[in-house]
Amino acid sequence: MPHIQINNANIYYEDSAPNDQSKPVMVFAHGLLWSTRMYDKQVAHFQDEYRCIAFDFRGQGQSQITKSGYDMDTLADDTIALLDALNIDSCHFVGLSMGGFIGQRIAISRPELLSSLILLETSSDPEDPKSAPQYRKLITAIRWLGMKRVSKKVMPIMFGSSFLADKSRKSECKDWLAQIQGNNKVGVSKATMGVIERKGTYDQLGSITTPTLIVVGDEDAATPYAKSERMHFAIKGSKLAVIERAGHTATVEEPEQVNTVMSNFLECCV
């Protein structure tokens, strides 16, 4: 799959139908510590009907680790530049956690680029001052010890108890643990700082006119239901869906539920 040079960063992306101009476009933006892989089940589900484009943010997955550019506004600019480079005038944007921070910014600054906005497991608030020190300690641990030593502490943040306790999914759980451990400690540290230091968007949500779906797992400890409800009340006409038995990575934990609520929402947008 290709890389593309954008804003002085070499960005990795996957395009399910690069030569098909007839399909509506769906763009997938991943969460912190992940990559395009977290959307494999969604791309498989939607690619017959949509041109699905998933990409890795700078410093994560297979994209370049740059010296700077990890703040949310720059990442939003990267995403807009990717759309422009691929000649995409409008898309259905799907963003989980950090990807949702980016989706909100595009909906606010460049609404003409979005046919719809799907926000999964995300928030419009800045990082909670109470949790920021814990994440800074995590960054220090990653820098000194590497991802492998801290990965098991990260898993309960990323996944709900149902997924982690399900013995039938033990091998799947190990695969995702391995993906976390495979992160480059420099890129992840820079990306995490960008998330911690982000500015909130809540005061601007009232300007969003893009049809919006907000999705949250009922076991999400990182961005609990109250965060999603707060956005729901602020974005006029938005829809809110709860995924049962899912934590902060519902696309992996309960893909069929996620695909169903997304499909139902998109049918109303057409």
pLDDT value of position 270 = 63
pTM of this prediction? Answer: 0.96
pLDDT digits (tens, 9 = 90+) for 184-214: 989 999 999 999 999 999 999 999 999 999 9
Segments of the chain scoring below 50 in pLDDT: none
Between the alpha carbon of residue 176 and those of residues 49, 78, 116, 196, 257, the distances in Å are: 28, 26, 29, 23, 19
Q: What angle do CA 90, 43, 26 make, to 5 degrees?
A: 5
pLDDT value of position 129 = 83
All residues at 6 or more sequence positions from 199 whose CB lies less than 8 Å from its CB, including other chains? 72, 126
Task: Tell which residue, 210, 219, 214, 211, has the closest CA to residue 160.
Answer: 219
Q: What is the Cβ-side half-sphere exposure of residue 45, based on CA atoms within 13 angstroms?
A: 15
CATH code, 3-269: 3.40.50.1820
pLDDT value of position 150 = 81
Q: d(Cα 28, Cα 93) in Å, to the nearest integer?
A: 6
Q: d(Cα 186, Cα 87) in Å, to the nearest integer?
A: 32
